[in-house]
A = this chain, B = another copy of it.
Amino acid sequence: MHKNKPLILITNDDGINAPGIRNLISVMNECGEVWVVAPDKGQSAMGHAITVNSTLHIEEINSGDEPQKEFSCSGTPADCVKIAISELLPRTPDLCVSGINHGSNSAINVIYSGTMSAAIEAGMEGVASIGFSLLDYSDNANFEHCKPFVKKIVQNTLENGLPNGVILNVNIPKLPYDEIKGVKICRQAKATWEEEFDKRIDPRGRTYFWLTGKFVNLDKGEDTDEWALENSYVSIVPVQYDLTAYHAIQELNSWDND
C-alpha cells in the first residue's frame, strides 16, 4: 500500500486556515492520501507544549471537493500529531509534514517552533517527518515557489526514508523560484536572540511587557542554515531529539560527584 499511495499526515502551528498549510495540502495531494489534523487557531512559539491539564476537542471539517480528510483540534501542534496517530488516522502514516510555516525556523528558532515540535513529535513516534518554513511572516505570503522544493524533498524522503531519530528542518528563502540556487544540507547556526522587552503602562497604571528581540547570527561558518538562506539556498538541517551532549560526559565524569 505504501508504494502506491503513501498516507501523509499534515499539521502546522499557524492554524488550519493559514495559507501555508493550504498550499502544503495542495502539493501533498499529488504525493499521497492526505489527512490534515491541525490547530483550530494560531499556536506559534508554542515549543513542544502538550495539553495535560485540559480537554482536547476535535472537529471534522468538510473541505468540499478536495480529496483530503481534515480535522481541526483545540490543542497544540504536538497534541495534533499525538491524537492524529493515536485516534484519527486509519493506520500509522508513512510521512508527517508540518507547515509551511509563515516565518523562519532556522538556527535556534527550531527550539521555539511549534511547526518543528509537531514534526519532532511525529519523529518520536517513528514516523518520517519534515517541517517546512518560508522566510516570510506575512499572512499573504506567496508560497508558490516553495512547492517544487517541498515535492522533491518529500519524494526523496518517501524513497529513501530518514535515518533513525532524525527529522528534517527545511527553510525556504523568500525569493522568486528562479533566484533560488538549490538545496543545501546544513548544521544549525549558532545564533541567538538578544531580548528586548517593550515596557508599557496599561490604562489602570500597571506595568506590562511585550517580548521583542533581535536575531543575531554569531556563526561565520559556511555550512550553516543561516549561511545557506542568506546565499539563496533552501536549507535542510537534520534534527534529533536525543539531546544528550555526548562530548560533555567525560568532562562531567572528572568532577567529584560523590
Contact = CB atoms under 8 A, between A and B. Distances in A.
B44 A47 contact: no
A82 interface: yes
A58 to B, nearest CB: 7
What band does the interface of chain A fall in when counting residues whose beta carbon is under 8 Å from B? 35 or more
A206 B52 contact: no
B166 A248 contact: yes
Interface in A161-193: 162-163, 165-166, 168-169, 182-185, 187-188, 190, 192
Nearest to A51: B211
Interface in A49-64: 49-53, 55-58
Interface majority SS on A: helix, strand, loop or mixed? mixed
A195 B127 CA distance: 14
A156 B50 contact: no
A30 interface: no
Interface stretch (A18-26, A105-113, A138-146): A105-113
A52 B45 CA distance: 7
A79 B46 CA distance: 12
Interface stretch (A4-12, A32-40, A93-101, A237-245): A237-245
A236 interface: yes
B125 A188 contact: no
A215 interface: no
Contacts of A78: 47, 112
A82 B111 CA distance: 14
Interface string A208-231: 111100000000000000000000
A238 B242 contact: no
A1 interface: no
Given A238-B249, A239-B243, A209 B166 contact: no
B52 A49 contact: no
A49 B183 CA distance: 30
Given A50-B112, A236-B252, 14 more contacts: A48-B48, A48-B112, A56-B211, A57-B208, A58-B207, A85-B195, A86-B196, A166-B248, A183-B257, A185-B253, A187-B244, A188-B242, A236-B257, A240-B243
